[in-house]
Structure 1
Amino acid sequence: MSEPTSRPLWQWSATDIARATHAGEITASEVTEAILARMDAVNPALNAVVESLAEEARAEAAALDASDAPKGPLHGVPVTIKVNVDQKGHATTNGVAALKDLIAPDDAPVVRNLKAAGALIIGRTNTPEFSFRADTDTPLHGRTYNPWGRHLSAGGSSGGAGSAVMAGIGPLAHGNDIGGSLRFPASANGAVTVKPGLGRVPAWNPSQTAERGLLAQSMSVQGLLARSAKDLHLSMPALIAPDARDPFHVPLPWRGAPPVPPIKVAVTRDDFGFGLHPEVATAIDKAASALSDAGYDVTEVEPPLAFETGEEGYRTLLGEVKALMGPDIAAYGSKTVNAIFDAYFELFPPYEGPDLLRAMAKRSHYARAWSLFLQDYPLVLTPFLLKPFFHAGRDAEGLDGARDALGQAHWSFIMNFTGLPAGNLPTHIADLPEGPQPIGVQIAGQRWREDLIVDAMRAIEERIPPVCTTLWERMG
């Protein structure tokens, strides 16, 4: 067996698990028992998984082991599902107490695709109320903690997924992202992710009673958190399989046309006047150096309309949220989440009425400017957050807290508003007064070229040691 697989099974990558199950070296049941034992050991202190599916996973693993041939590329690979996505027979709570009995009548496309690929769903992970915070805490499911320690938020809204995957509760974790909900937890916990672009992954919840707003449809995407980019190359092709229930899904293959080397990478350190923390600057330096060493053509150059795209994008999204979700947030949300939304609305005044329609229309203006830029620079290396991750509950500490947690995240919002793919990965562990934490970068790319982003992240991680080993040593 390879070097990585000399470690306990719960530490194996999805790639190593899939290779071994396909070769008959291990069984799906062996993998499942190892991951469930890890979940039992660490989840009580983390509250990442809020619904264990241990018995269902055991039964499905036994069925896989009894099959004549591997079911798919993820045969026997454990995965978790976020509680805001439908899984037949389970509650799609979205972190809201009023939805605790909303039982899904069928699987969402992402769940169906993972199962079809042979993945084993071992549990459902936590999300904040309405999946609309950069931190994960809810009156229904409680707080999710970061495995690096309680000096750090686990991020949001896929905080349960980020905490679980880095703690060893499965090598893959489903999450989604409308303003940063895959990338915030990746940054907080040290995970690796790629936020797919518009139309890449089919999405729909069979339990929903009304269609989502147009911006929610075009900005929210389904994805995965992992511990390595190689696991994204393994798993994302299964995730993007077509599903007719999403009529706007784009059925393109995972791999696009091979680019002509060297691939040009634009590097930006723009902090929009907020200030760039030295540790984040170091992360940019490390990633740029690794890409250059790997043969990429790395150049310092500023993308167009960056601050404006992020600012306008979030004001537009919040305009739709206020109009369509506002009554439900007021009626069913906690005092805490209502206060947080009040702060959001002050930081990013929502567009309303005709102004909202004009802002939605102008989305094409920003997407076009970025599309033209990406013709010359297919990849863009950016900060994600401008400083190290914040402590738990920071977004609930008034206007200053919301500004710290979300008000400087323009590099995140840009990618959702324009529908572009963007990946996050850690470059190093910072030894800060509050405690150690991973620091990383974002790599954005051309529409429907998530594969190029993951290639670039793979090149970086081949030159920079993974942070999960250090985390597991710290956890004991």
Structure 2
Amino acid sequence: MSEEFWRWGAAEIASAIREKRTSSVDVLEGCLARIASVNPSVNAIVDLMEEEARAAAQAADVAVARGDALGPLHGVPVTIKVNIDVANRPTTNGVPAFADRIADQDSPLVRKWREAGAIVLGRTNTPALSFGLFTNNRLYGRTLNPWASELSPGGSSGGAAASVATGMVPLAHGNDSGGSIRYPAYCCGLFGMRPTFGRVPHYSGTSAVDLPIMSQLAVVNGPFARSIDDLRIALWAMSGHDPLDPWSAHAPIPGPHRSGPCKVAVLAHLPGVDRDEETIEAVRQAAQWLFEAGYTVENVVPPRYAEASALRDRLLIHEIRAGMLDMIEAHAPPEEINEAHALLDATPHMSFDEFREGLARRTSIIREWLLFMRDYPLVLTPTAWRKPQPADFYEKPVVLTEEMVLELSPLHVPPLLGLPSMAVPTGLVNNVPMGVQLMASQFEEEQLLAAGKVIEAKVARLTPIDPTFGLYPRGD
């Protein structure tokens, strides 16, 4: 029955292995069979580590037989995005010229997952240089949304999301500086956690230089899962300080407590920004479910919301314009270049003095949010004001206005603030995933998980899906 293990969640797998109701090897073989079946259709896993994973699974079973202490992810297959170091594998970041960047050690979060017992089964696709809300590059090609190939799977962690949505693995790693976890989770119908800045250490020794300052302050790593319980286990297993990341926090990892109902600020309208009615209906429905569970829900606009989104864009786009655009133009496919130019053209230039002032203003906005969240510990918004974008959105040059960029404001506000946020699926609309976003205050991920559990209980159980189309079109 090993072929059915790919339907199981991470907690279910770890429990069955711990109780000797199955073995790590059997679970791994089930996932490998699933990969062979569906990965040719979606092109999500682009570096399969079959030999290494089999050896790790055998070692995991020996540990069980010896009676060793077992971690919370013992025997659970996972994927890691190709922009984070895995020992002895290339950290390509979707760029052919980086194919020889072989890591000599695991990134801290990979090591932490391994220490928790996880088995790294493969690496997942990303756009070139991990830029954008689509997943395509010249090295591996395009990742397709398993629900509908005409839609984006999200980016930049589109491969990670597709690997979990289709059951190739129960957990996947992603990272996020502008929606790269939450948007793929939204597009693929998953839970995706962007933790508090510093909660999960970020480091890849194969990077030639450290990121510029705003990029350092924006990027975080987090997990994808099909359930809240799995997301919780995955998050805490990758969390904790590591000296390789000076920004990583010593904040203690919480115990098994659950946060109770609280006040929720609901944002269902942003002046001047267009929206799809489906996204607003999802927010209204989620607010109703939270209300029924004892939460106090109020329509409240958080402080300086549009300003926070626009400031994030200006600070990060300034760094991209100064140091990354040439790399995108040299290494990315045409649609990613079009996306970059559309965003840069819609974002005003900044002088150095304006950049300095923007970083200072960021602090004042964070302060106002932390005070606001004393009264409203949770903020409920759409994940984006629009439905998942068509996969060919940037096939031709696109002109964006500042108002159109603000349609992505729910994705852009949390990276500026460093606050935790989570994409939560709310069901299907015309057989396409729909969802919402929850935000909490610093290091209050348990508030997100508790509220997410309420919404999860109202939505049909998320199970792995079969892609709705044939084989991935090679040569695309």
Please tell me the TM-score bracket, short chain as reference: over 0.9
Unaligned runs of 5+ in 1: none
1:300 aligns with 2:295: no
Do the aligned residues in 2 keep the contact of 1:190 with 1:468 (CA within 8 Å)? Answer: no
Aligned to 2:35: 39
How far apart are 1:327 and its partner, in Å? 3.6
* Structure 1 residue matching 2:394: 3-state secondary structure: helix
Contact 1:187/1:426 (<8 A) preserved = yes
The CA RMSD over aligned residues, in Å, is: 2.3
| Superposed displacement of residue 387, structure 1 | 2.1
- Residues 1:455 and 2:443 aligned together: no
Equivalent pair of 2:423/2:437 in contact (CA under 8 Å):
yes
Query: Does the CA contact (< 8 Å) of 1:193 and 1:229 recur in 2?
Result: no
Question: Contact 2:199–2:248 (CA<8 Å) still a contact in 1?
Answer: yes
Deviations 1:12-70 (A, max 9, x none): 01111111111111111011000010000000010000011111111100011011225
Q: 1:245 to 1:397 in 2, by over 3 A?
A: same
1:209-358 mapped onto 2 (5 Å cutoff): 209-255=208-254, 261-358=260-357
Counterparts of 2:197 and 2:377 in 1: how far apart (Å)?
A: 17
Q: Which amino acid aligns with 1:169?
A: M
> What's the secondary structure of 1:274's corresponding residue?
coil
Q: After the TM superposition, which of the residue ranges 234-243 and 55-64 deviates more from structure 2? A: 234-243
Residue 23 of structure 1 pairs with residue 19 of structure 2:
yes
Report the counterpart of residue 54 of structure 1 in structure 2.
50
Determine if contact 1:438/1:467 at 8 Å carries over to the other structure.
Answer: no
Q: Indicate the SS of the match to 1:145.
A: coil
Q: Secondary structure at the match of 2:389?
A: coil
Cα separation, partners in 2 of 1:334 and 1:143, compared to 1, 3 Å: closer
Contact 1:48 1:145 (8 Å CA) reproduced: yes
Q: What amino acid does structure 2 have at the position aligned with 1:28?
A: S
Q: Is the contact between residue 75 and residue 119 of structure 1 (CA under 8 Å) also seen in structure 2? A: yes
Deviation at 1:135, TM superposition (A): 0.4
Corresponding residue for residue 384 of structure 1: 383
CA distance in 2, matches of 1:343, 1:72: 46
Identity %: 37
Judged with a 3 Å threshold, the aligned counterparts in structure 2 of structure 1 residues 204 and 80 are, in CA distance, closer, same or farther, namely same
Which range moves more in the overlay, 350-359 or 416-425?
350-359
Equivalent residues in 2 for 1:390-409 (5 A)?
390-400=389-399, 408-409=407-408
- Cα distance 1:457–1:99, how it changes in 2: closer, same or farther (>3 A)? same
Residue 323 of structure 1 and its aligned partner are, at CA, apart by 1.8
| Contact persistence 1:390–1:404 (CA under 8 A) | no
Matches of residues 25-174 of structure 1 in structure 2 within 5 Å?
25-67=21-63, 68=66, 69-174=68-173
Going from structure 1 to structure 2, the CA distance change for 1:256 and 1:114 (only over 3 Å counts) comes to closer
Shift of 1:244: 1.7
Number of positions where the alignment pairs a residue of Structure 1 with one of Structure 2:
467
Q: Structure 2 CA distance, aligned partners of 1:7 and 1:475?
A: 21
Paired position in structure 2 for 1:203:
202
User: What is the CA–CA distance in structure 1 between the aligned matches of 2:34 and 2:258, rounded to whole Å?
Assistant: 41
How far apart, in 2, do the equivalents of 1:104 and 1:388 lie? 37
Separation in 2 of the partners of 1:402 and 1:100? Answer: 36
Q: Deviations over 1:79-98 (max 9, x none)?
A: 00000001111111111121
Residues 331-379 of structure 1: per-residue CA shift (max 9 Å, x gap): 4444443332211111122423221121122111211121111110000
Give the TM-score normalised by structure 2.
Answer: 0.93
Counterpart of 2:451 in structure 1: which amino acid?
A: A
Amino acid at match of 1:195: R
In the alignment, residue 29 of structure 2 is paired with which amino acid? E
Q: Report the alpha carbon displacement of residue 282 of structure 1 after superposing the two structures with TM.
A: 1.7
Q: Which amino acid aligns with 2:327?
A: D
* 1:394/1:405 contact within 8 Å kept: no
The structural deviation recorded for 1:473 is 9.4
- 1:381 match: secondary structure: strand
Q: Secondary structure at the match of 2:211?
A: coil
Distance 2:394 2:107 in 1: 30
Match of 1:368 in 2: 367
Question: Is contact 2:259–2:450 with CA below 8 Å preserved after alignment?
Answer: no
